Amino acid sequence: MAKIKPSKGAPYARILGVGGYRPTRVVPNEVILETIDSSDEWIRSRSGIETRHWASDEETVAAMSIEASGKAIADAGIDASRIGAVVVSTVSHFSQTPAVATEIAHKLGTDKAAAFDISAGCAGFGYGLTLAKGMVVEGSAEYVLVIGVERLSDLTDLEDRATAFLFGDGAGAVIVGPSQEPAIGPTVWGSEGDKSETIKQTVPWTDYRDGTVAKFPAITQEGQAVFRWAVFEMAKVAQQALDAAGITADELDVFIPHQANVRIIDSMVKTLKLPEHVTVARDIRTTGNTSAASIPLAMERLLATGEAKSGDTALVIGFGAGLVYAATVVTLP
Catalytic positions are 122, 258, 289
Closest by CA to 147, choosing from 85, 97, 96, is: 85
With beta carbons less than 8 A apart as the criterion, state whether 315 and 176 touch. no
Closest by CA to 248, choosing from 221, 278, 227, 224, is: 278
With beta carbons less than 8 A apart as the criterion, state whether 230 and 289 touch. no
Give 160-190 as a DSSP string.
Answer: -TTTTTTB-EEEEEEEEEEESS--B---EEE
326: Cβ contacts below 8 Å, ≥ 6 apart: 120, 123, 125, 126, 127, 129, 130, 187, 188, 189, 317, 318, 319
Beta-strand (E) ranges in the chain? 12-21, 25-28, 51-54, 83-89, 114-118, 143-151, 169-179, 188-191, 199-201, 219-221, 254-257, 279-280, 313-320, 324-331
